[in-house]
Structure 1
Amino acid sequence: MSKNQSDIAYEFLRQKLLNRELLPGTRVRYGPLGTEIGMSATPVREAIGRLASEGLVELVPQSGAIVKQPTRSDALEVFELREAIEPFAVAKASQLIGVRQLKTMQATIDAMQTILKQVTSGETTGTQNASPFDQADLRFHLTILESVDNRRMLKAVGDLHLLTEIIGIARHTYDADILEMTIEDHTLILDGLKLRDAEAASKAMVTHIRNSRQITLSQMSGTERPIFPLTN
C-alpha cells in the first residue's frame, strides 16, 4: 500500500465531511468507504486516524470511527483559534495578495449572492444550498491564506474551517439573514484587501469571526440570535 492511497482516502473523507455526506454522529465504515474509493480498508483506516488526530472524528472502542458531535467547548476553542490566526493572516495578505486571488474571492461572493437571491425568491431554501454556500465560504478564506504562502497556517486554518462547518451542520438555519450577513462580512474583508488596508481588513475579519461565533453559540443553546453586526 502506498502513502498516496492514504492521502487520497484522507482528501476523499474530508470532502465528504464538507459536502455534509457524513453528518455528526455518523459511523464511518472502513470497508464500504474503501470500496467506494476503490481501495482496501487499510488506507481508509490510516486516513481516519489522521482525521481523528485533527478532532474531526472520534475513535470509539467496539464502534469504530464516528464523526465528531461538536460541543459548546469545541465551538469556543475553534473560534478562539480562528480569531487568533485569521486577522493576522488577512493583514499580511493585504500587502501580498494578487489580482487573480482578489478575483477568486469576488467570485465566491458572487456565488453566495446567487444563492441568497434563490433563497429570498423562494426558489430554494438555505438548507438546500448549505453545501455550496459552505464551499464558497471556505474558498474565500483559503484564498487569503494561499496569498500569504504559509503552508502550516493554511493547513491549520483549513482544519479549523472544516470543524466550523461540521459544527454548523447541527446549528445553521441558513436563512436569508444569516446568508446576507456572511456576504456583507466577506465584502468588507475584500474591500480592505483591495485597498491594501491591513487594519480595515483585520477588523472586518474579527467582526466576521465574532458574528459567526455568536450565531453558533446562540443556536447551539437554542436561544434567539443577538443583534448583528457585532462591533470590535
Structure 2
Amino acid sequence: MMKASFKGKFDVDKSGSVASLTFNAGNAKLRATMTDASFVAGPSFNGLSLAVEKPGFFIIDYNVPKKDVRFQFMNTIRIAEKPLNLTYIHMRGDNRTIVDGSFVIDPANKLSANYMVGTKNCKLKYTYVHGGIATFEPCYDVAKNMWDFAISHKLYGGDNLKATYQTSSKMLGLEWSNNSKSTGSFKVCASMNLAEELKPPKLTAETTWNLEL
C-alpha cells in the first residue's frame, strides 16, 4: 500500500508546502519527502529527503541536497511495570545528539525530559490529563531557569484548543486544530509578544491532506 500526504503552510510573511509518499516494505516504511523548493526553479533535488522507518524502533533520514543523515532510535523499557519511552537522535551534519525520555506514571500523569548532549539545553516537563479532555503541561527550561506553560482542551468533533506561554520571550500563543486519520488535519495559530508594544497577533495556518493510493 502507498500513502500520500500534502501539507501547506500559510502566514503573512511566507507560505510553503511539503508533499510525501510512503511505501510499506514488510514491517518497515520507505518515505520520500519534497518541499516546494524541489519545483520552484524546475524539478531538482532541493528540498528532497528520503527515509526508512521501522515504527517504534528507528528512523533514518537522508537529506539529498545537503548529503546529511539524521538517525533516530526508539525503545521502551518498563520500570515497576510502567513504560519509560526513550528516543536517541543524532544529526551528523550539525554534530548534535539529543536524548528524549518520557515516563508514563498512569493515563493521567507523565514526566518527560529532553537533553542536548554536551550542552546545558535540558527541558523537564510534567503532563497532567484531567478527565481525558483537558491537559496541563508546565515545562522547566534548565538553561534559561524559566518556566513555560501549555493548556489544551478537547472539543466535540475532534477539535482541540491550546494556549501556550513562554516566560523567557513573553510569547503568548493560541492554537485551534483538528486531526483526522482518514482525511487530514488543519491548524490555525495566533501568537503575540507581550513584551512589545501592542500589535495585531501573527497568524499562521497549516493544513494536511492524506490519501491512500
Bucket of the pairwise TM-score, normalised by the shorter protein:
under 0.3
Structure with larger Rg: 2
TM-score normalised by structure 1 residue count: 0.23
TM-score normalised by structure 2 residue count: 0.25
Higher helix share: 1
Higher strand share: 2
Higher RCO (CA < 8 A, seq sep 6+) = 1
